[in-house]
Amino acid sequence: MCEQIKKELQEGSTVLGIEFGSTRIKAVLIGSGHEPIAMGAHEWENRLENNIWTYSLEDIWTGLQDCYKNLAEDVKTRYDLPLSRIGAMGFSGMMHGYMAFDADGKLLVPFRTWRNTMTEEACRKLVALFDFNIPQRWSIAHLYQAMLNREEHVKDIAFMTTLAGYIHWKLSGEKVLGVGEASGMFPIDSETGSYDAEMIKRFDGLVSEEKLPWTLEAILPRVLSAGEQGGVLSEEGARLLDPTGTLQPGVSMCPPEGDAGTGMTATNAVRVRTGNVSAGTSIFSMVVLEKALSGVHEEIDMVTTPDGMPVAMVHCNNCTSDLNAWVNLFGEFAETFGMKIDKNELYGDLYRKALEAEPDCGGLLSYNFFSGEPVVGLNEGRPLFVRMPDASFTLANFMRTHLCSALAALKVGNDILLKEEHVKVDALMGHGGLFKTPVVGQRILAAALNAPVTVMDTASEGGPWGMAVLAAYMREREDGESLADYLDHKIFAGQTGSTVDPEAEDAEGFERFIAAYKTALPVQKAAVETMRM
């Protein structure tokens, strides 16, 4: 196997996927068997500057270069070869947000990430205009809010894109997006596979009195579907990615995608009536629809698969950040008393403790909101733990409470989808950090959604592996071969995983927890209103 991989590295037939997550940039290189043969990573974190969640351009490029350097070093260590030639590559990132540039390619305002909840007024007006849900993190919401705020930069916009689109543009010169990622900028017409022409017309009409020097369509990236080529790595792009000059340009690049699209790909959830849940810093579920929803729900976003199929998405800004903070606190406690506990062991033991808890968490409540959570009507967050004096305050109940809290907002949105819209899901796949400890995250999620949850053997590879698979699909697909068929027959054939069915007691307990959670939401809102720095 090692000799085969060396041959593929020398021939330049490997495929690279790189994804910009919220806390980590990760690269995965795959060979002809589509399994990872080398990896690289870079840790990073967003910052709250002037009340805006952002990453600087320096953060982006130093992070990407360090991630790629670590990948190249992994190749050198494993195979004693330089990483000089690659057959295909693709880039993905946190969906949505706002990156606006002038005609000279200058970023006009700091990158506004998905985590910002500052566009409520714009969303309200756009939902009425389009009769279509526009979430606060979408690019069009940020653009229109900037216009409503009379921000000076708006008149100078020549191009706007997402983080993945920005990286792709700088490395290839092409201003394009994959359709799944584009669906988080502006609504997509699944019939045409591009932006909804009628909605673009309505928006241009809405802002016509502003006498802007651009139209919306002119400043948006061109939309491509999975399987199409999005450009090639330029000489300048190769040096940006690999300043050592080792990497050769000319690599075929697939359309850049968002982390939702790569998550669907990595879990084989792009076919109708399949779904997936990605649980990390944020959490979202994706269900591929067989028919349109009966109405507009502000808790549910309509996006697409990487090949343009309509998807109902419930996206929540907060998942594991507060949970991680508590685990870290327990780790600090242990170190105070001279106990050195491996981080994986610490997480595993505390997570498993939650399985000993009362199904409804014994009367404990927590709200994991580091940032706003529009699904439950919050524009700002305050992490909060509360209990009644007579609640059963045990470690098991405490840990289960925080695990349930991490999934609570997701359940609120999915209850609309599954109980009110009666959407059918044949298979629900889980991936992300929440599922790293076997069984625990699956069991709590199965209870929350009252549905079986499967975690594939490849789930730990996550988005960057899914991005590499999309790049491989561009390179390898046969005429007329759909993405769903490619994944079924060439990627996941023979793959195994574990499935956890919901236990009745767990599901009933989560219903009691969520009822108390909703009733006490005014406490969280009061915390937002009264806790000010």
Q: Give pLDDT tens digits for 182-241.
A: 999 999 998 899 999 999 999 999 999 999 999 999 999 999 999 999 999 999 999 999
- Give yes or no for residue 461 having a pLDDT over 80: no
pLDDT value at 101 more than 80: yes
Q: How confident is the model at residue 292 (pLDDT cuts 50, 70, 90)?
A: confident
Instruction: Give yes or no for residue 1 having a pLDDT over 90.
Output: no
* Residue 111: Cβ-neighbour burial (10 angstroms; 0-12, 13-18, 19+): buried
Q: d(Cα 74, Cα 76) in Å, to the nearest integer?
A: 5
Per-residue pLDDT, 177? 98
- pLDDT value, residue 459: 56
In this predicted structure, the answer to whether residue 402 has a pLDDT above a threshold of 80 is: yes
| pTM, entire model | 0.84
State residue 376 phi and psi, 5-degree precision: -115, 20
> What pLDDT digit, counting tens, does each position of 147-171 carry?
999 999 999 999 999 999 999 999 9
Bridge-partner residues for 231, per DSSP? 253
pLDDT of residue 272: 93
Task: Give the pLDDT confidence of 348-369 residue by residue, as tens digits.
Answer: 999 999 999 999 999 999 999 9
For 346, list phi and psi in degrees, rounded to 5.
-60, -50
Give the Cα separation of 345 and 356 in Å (integer).
17
* pLDDT at position 80 over 60: yes
pLDDT at 172 over 60: yes
**pLDDT bucket at 460, cuts 50 / 70 / 90:** low
480: left (phi over 0), alpha (psi -120 to 50) or beta: left
Nearest to 28 by CA among 462, 520, 477, 473: 462
Q: What share of the chain is helix, strand, coil (3-state, %, to 5)?
A: 45, 20, 35
- Eight-class DSSP state of 86: -
Cβ-contact 68, 41 below 8 angstroms = no
Q: How far apart are CA 156 and CA 424, in angstroms?
A: 46
Q: Which of these ranges, 37-41, 115-119, 242-246, 463-467, has the smallest mean pLDDT?
A: 115-119
Percentage with pLDDT > 90 across the chain? 83
Q: Distance (Å, rounded) from C-alpha 279 to C-alpha 284?
A: 7
SS3 299: coil
Per residue in 74-105, is it b (16+ CB within 10 Å) or e — as a string?
bbeeebeeebbbbbbbbbbbbbbbbbbbeeee
**Which of 493, 133, 57 lies closest to 312, judged by CA?**
133
The chain-wide mean pLDDT, for the chain, equals 94
**DSSP conformational letter for 93:** E
275 CA to centre of own chain: 14
Q: Burial, 214: exposed, middle or buried (Cβ in 10 Å; 0-12, 13-18, 19+)?
A: middle
Taking each helix axis from N to C end, the angle separating 504-519 and 440-449, rounded to the nearest 10 degrees, works out to 70
Per-residue pLDDT of 489-524, as tens digits, reads: 999 987 778 899 999 999 999 999 999 999 999 999
Mean pLDDT of 252-278: 92
Give me the phi and psi of 9, to 5 degrees please. Answer: -65, -40
Tokens 């209990």 sit at which residue?
A: 387
151: left (phi over 0), alpha (psi -120 to 50) or beta: beta
Task: State the Cα–Cα distance between residues 516 and 528, nearest whole angstrom.
Answer: 19
- Bridge partner list, 265: none
Distance from C-alpha of 374 to C-alpha of 369, rounded to nearest angstrom: 11
